[in-house]
Amino acid sequence: TGCEEKELSEDYDINWPIPEITEVSVAGDVAIGSQITVKGAYFADAVVTINGIECTVISVNDTETEMTVELPRIFEQGLLRVANVFNRYSESDELLNPVYPEVTVTKVNDIPQGLQFKVEGENVDVISEVYIDGESVPILTREPSEILINSGELDLKPGQLVSVSFKSLGPNAIPEVANVNVIYPFIEYKELIIWDFEDGNHHYVGEPTASVASGGSDCPGNVDKFFQLRAPGYGWDKVTGEMTSEEVPDVSTFINPYLTFAVRTPAGSAGYFQMEDQNGNWRHFGYGFKTDGEWMIISQPLNESWEGGEFDTRALNLS
């Protein structure tokens, strides 16, 4: 003997205004980012979206029956939805289909290891995918003239050369950009320069095959003179130069000391670095560098990335 249950919404007498769309100035193919006009009713504080992507409402007229809306730069084909403060919404009758412009990449900037880098050009914001050596990497921010890309997920090494390729929503293919430099992130350690080559106390003892010259003003950073090694030797097994210090810097009280220096290798050449402490223990850098003629600043913690084990910084007397 069940009693007839009434519908839950039966007695509800509030008819919240539902936005009406009577006319949309465009239909079918429409240029991204273009401004369109929507007519209808109940546009109070409306939120306009297309396929979940919010459009910018430029203006609404006084009677809240007409508004100008700027379409997003990226959206998928869909209906235009107008929602109001009463959580009510309506959708346009006809699908809007985005038309994307041609995309031109004019410049791919160097990639600081683990950080973001910039791709410049025209309409680059409609690039949908960016690949570094074929691996997809996320796009952080988009402007028509430049996008920022995060390389943090990839295991890149400074000195490495990579290729950058793209997929875009635009009609044209974008050529791959090869030989993009992976650079060490710009880091400045004024207080931790171990060697100050300008003070004359530290002597370079060069092999006969090498010579030393001061760096030029093309060196990055705010130190205007740097030490250069030049050598006719080629390949990894050639020692090009060596420095020793008479006055041993004491880094034992340093917290996590770094060695910082600038380096550049001629195109096609690579180099690496090794260091000996006073006990005669040798360590060499965990990686080499190949800078293709560009300056690069290397800043390396003494307890990381040294092959043969980390330096015990408490006992470190550099020589």
Give the residues lining the site for other proteins (CB under 8 A): 1-3, 5, 7-9, 11-18, 44-45, 85-88, 112, 115-116, 138, 140-141, 148, 150, 152, 185-192, 222, 253-256, 303, 314
Compute the distance between CA of residue 135 and CA of residue 182 in angstroms, rounded to an integer. Answer: 15
Compute the distance between CA of residue 101 and CA of residue 109 in angstroms, rounded to an integer. Answer: 23
Report in angstroms how near the CB of residue 114 gets to other proteins at its nearest.
8
Amino acid at residue number 31: A
Nearer to other proteins, 102 or 110 (CB): 110
Report in angstroms how near the CB of residue 79 gets to other proteins at its nearest.
17
Contacts of 6 (CB under 8 A, 6+ apart): none
Compute the distance between CA of residue 39 and CA of residue 43 in angstroms, rounded to an integer. Answer: 9
Nearer to other proteins, 15 or 63 (CB): 15
Compute the distance between CA of residue 129 and CA of residue 239 in angstroms, rounded to an integer. Answer: 44
Q: In which element (H, E) is residue 230 found? A: strand 227-230
Given a contact cutoff of 8 angstroms between Cβ atoms, the answer to whether 195 and 319 are in contact is no
**Positive or negative: CA dihedral 18, 22, 28, 32:** negative
Compute the distance between CA of residue 38 and CA of residue 65 in angstroms, rounded to an integer. Answer: 8
Nearer to other proteins, 102 or 250 (CB): 250
DSSP classification of residue 274:
E
Report in angstroms how near the CB of residue 312 gets to other proteins at its nearest.
8
Nearer to other proteins, 215 or 221 (CB): 221
Given a contact cutoff of 8 angstroms between Cβ atoms, the answer to whether 264 and 188 are in contact is no
Report in angstroms how near the CB of residue 60 gets to other proteins at its nearest.
13
Report in angstroms how near the CB of residue 271 gets to other proteins at its nearest.
24
Report in angstroms how near the CB of residue 226 gets to other proteins at its nearest.
17
Nearer to other proteins, 135 or 176 (CB): 135
Nearer to other proteins, 160 or 299 (CB): 299
Report in angstroms how near the CB of residue 11 gets to other proteins at its nearest.
7
Given a contact cutoff of 8 angstroms between Cβ atoms, the answer to whether 42 and 18 are in contact is yes
Closest CA to 44 of 13, 70, 82: 82
Compute the distance between CA of residue 257 and CA of residue 303 in angstroms, rounded to an integer. Answer: 8
Mode of pairing for the β-strands spanning 56-60 and 53-54? unpaired
CA atoms within 13 A on the CB side of 197: 17
Report in angstroms how near the CB of residue 141 gets to other proteins at its nearest.
6
Nearer to other proteins, 17 or 288 (CB): 17
Nearer to other proteins, 8 or 200 (CB): 8
